[in-house]
């Protein structure tokens, strides 16, 4: 089957949805970011896209590249979600996504911005994101997290990271906690692109790590600086609450935590039979 192009864009444009993309899912976020980028001219892709993404450190090359890679991964997340909605014309919604993803990857090389924009940011490339955003919003609703609340949580995570780093916790447990805190920090930075589900993934990893190392963690709690582990659990509890509000769902992970080791042992016993 040939690639769907202009005819698909005309059909989408005729749909004229009442929905105007907001920052309530990854497609809406990318649409708003790329629409802002369309208004910029001159310079390089790093300089201008740092403005479009509203990066705190626009001269930080590593941060810019990580952000562009996260945006490319966000495009994959859009396709993943759309294809799991039954009964839709997937090509109609998704035909321009490979081009957008290619554009984000190309931008990492810090090329001329005007040339990049001409090649990758035409209206017919960006437009379908608006309709993807509408569809995802209907099937995967999420509320935008207040940025002040999220930044306040990040400050707590940063402070705990430094506190654990300076602690006398057992080295393996210290590394485990630091790894999970770093995952959470990275998820917070990527939230503006990927949405609440990147925070959910970070919480899932942290919950799984605790479950798999339950005995070692229990021993560490009773040793020097064991209170840092309680502080870690407290931060996960806050994150769980933030996620549950954004997804309008119950807190799921931490209430299940005491039962996870039992489930793991049962699964191992079943596999061994």
Domain residue ranges in the chain: 7-139, 147-272
pLDDT of residue 262: 42
| 224 pLDDT more than 90 | no
Task: Kindly report which listed range (117-126, 234-243, 250-259) carries the lowest average pLDDT score.
Answer: 250-259
Least trusted range by pLDDT, from 95-99, 201-205, 244-248, 251-255? 251-255
**Does residue 2 carry a pLDDT above 80?**
no
Calculate the CA dihedral of residues 63, 69, 75, 79 and round it to 10 degrees: -130
Residue 250's pLDDT is what?
A: 66
**Nearby residues of 258 by Cβ (< 8 Å), 6 or more positions away:** none
pLDDT digits (tens, 9 = 90+) for 102-135: 999 999 999 999 999 999 998 888 989 999 998 9
Q: Mean per-residue pLDDT for 38-67?
A: 93
Position with higher pLDDT, 252 vs 25 = 25
How many whole angstroms separate alpha carbon 72 and alpha carbon 64?
A: 12
- Kindly tell me if the per-residue pLDDT of 137 is higher than 90: no
Specify the pLDDT at position 113.
96
d(C-alpha 221, C-alpha 206), whole Å: 17
Residue 159 has pLDDT above 70, yes or no: yes
Q: What is the rounded average pLDDT of the residues 245-265?
A: 60
Report percent pLDDT > 90 for the chain.
53
Phi, psi dihedrals of residue 44, rounded to the nearest 5°: -115, 170
More confident residue, 143 or 151: 151
- Mean pLDDT over all residues of the chain? 84
Give the confidence band of 92 by pLDDT, cuts at 50, 70, 90: confident
Task: Give the three-class secondary structure for 112.
Answer: strand
214 exposure class (CB count in 10 Å sphere: 0-12, 13-18, 19+): middle
CB 161 within 8 Å of CB 229: no
């Amino acid at each position: 089957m040939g690639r769907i192009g202009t005819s698909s864009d005309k059909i989408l444009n005729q749909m004229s949805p009442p929905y105007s993309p907001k920052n309530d899912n990854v497609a809406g976020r990318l649409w708003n970011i790329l629409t802002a980028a369309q208004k910029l001219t001159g310079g390089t892709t790093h300089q201008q896209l740092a403005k479009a993404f509203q990066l705190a450190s626009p001269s930080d090359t590593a941060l810019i590249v990580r952000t562009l890679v996260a945006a490319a991964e966000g495009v994959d997340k859009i396709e993943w979600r759309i294809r799991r909605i039954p009964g839709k014309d997937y090509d109609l919604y998704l035909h321009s996504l490979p081009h957008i993803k290619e554009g984000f990857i190309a931008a990492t090389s810090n090329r001329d911005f005007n040339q990049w924009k001409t090649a990758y940011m035409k209206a017919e490339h960006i437009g379908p994101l608006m309709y993807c955003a509408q569809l995802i919003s209907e099937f995967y609703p999420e509320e935008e997290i207040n940025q002040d609340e999220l930044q306040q949580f990040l400050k707590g995570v940063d402070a705990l990271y430094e506190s654990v780093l300076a602690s006398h916790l057992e080295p393996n447990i210290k590394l485990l906690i630091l790894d999970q805190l770093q995952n959470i920090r990275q998820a917070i930075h990527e939230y503006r692109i990927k949405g609440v589900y990147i925070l959910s993934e970070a919480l899932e990893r942290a919950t799984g790590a605790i479950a798999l190392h339950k005995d070692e963690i229990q021993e560490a709690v009773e040793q020097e600086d064991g209170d840092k582990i309680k502080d870690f659990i407290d931060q996960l509890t806050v994150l769980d609450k933030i996620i549950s509000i954004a997804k309008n769902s119950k807190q799921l992970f931490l209430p299940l935590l005491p039962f996870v080791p039992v489930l793991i042992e049962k699964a191992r016993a079943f596999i061994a039979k």
